[in-house]
Amino acid sequence: MKRSFYDSNGDGIGDLRGVIQKLDYLKELGINALWLSPVYDSPNDDNGYDIRDYRKIMSEFGTMEDFDELLDGVHSRGMRLIMDLVVNHTSDEHEWFQKALKEPDSGYRDYYYFRHDSGNRKEPNNWTSFFSGSAWNYYPQCDSWALHLFSKKQMDLNWENPKVREEIIDMVNWWLDKGVDGFRMDVINYISKEEGLPQGNEVIGSMMGFTGIERYYYGPKLHQFLREIREKAFVPHDAFSVGETPGLGRKMCPHTTSVSARKSEPKLQIPIGRSSGCAVRIRLLSMAHLMF
């Protein structure tokens, strides 16, 4: 959730109460759905896309009570509320990652991609981060490396672990049970990585600018993971969903979004709720993306 919409308390930061105060105005504009960028608790290393607690509101935006009031206000005006959700990674300050560091023998270590150092203090592979440099952090306290495709504080979740998928789906259902109408899923096509995290092709890396991207931008279990979210969360709630899928391109997008492909492909595609398509801002003509 960016900070440029409306500041209700004069601290210079747009907030949830600011949205509440402008709901009638937004309704008058003909808007029928609001799309909030991340409002979850976060240290803000990447504008809230580094989530520290999925079930808590970032204090500078307000409280959960404010959020509940906003949701009620949106629905009472016949509008819907879409939230931005990041499940490829969490903040390194998330409880799961902190436990993984402090309790290396606990189950939380397998919530992320940890690799023990081989003895030469060298990264496990040559993958690079979208935020420049290596995609690996070294943690001397456990002599291990951990994967981060984005910032050094955004640690990739291991979706191969069924417990991770269970935790994420439980959290998604928690918000949907609250009454949220759906989600925009951030970099959702990156959740499946090739087994063993093999070296990236240097030629592809030089062409794309990111070494290793061919190992995860359309991973081997992507459809399996998307189907699981859809069947266990979105379908039971008749929820809207759209996925941000960087790197797929025009020809590959139909394989993850089209309704016809869903019917013919047994592996299923992206978790689609009330609408489908690569471009949510085109398909939902009255949707407002509130960037605070």
- State the catalytic residue, choosing from 53, 93, 194, 244: 244
7 is catalytic: no
Residue 262 to residue 275: CA distance in whole angstroms:
13
Q: How many helices (H) and strands (E) does the chain have?
A: 12, 12
Helices (H), 77-126: 95-102
- State the catalytic residue, choosing from 41, 46, 186, 228: 186
244 is catalytic: yes
Residue 213 to residue 128: CA distance in whole angstroms:
8
AA identity, residue 202: E
Beta strands 182-186; 80-86: pairing state: parallel
Residue 168 to residue 76: CA distance in whole angstroms:
29
- Looking at residue 75, the DSSP 8-state letter turns out to be H
Residue 234: helix, strand or coil by DSSP?
Answer: helix
Q: Which sequence positions are flagged as catalytic?
A: 186, 244
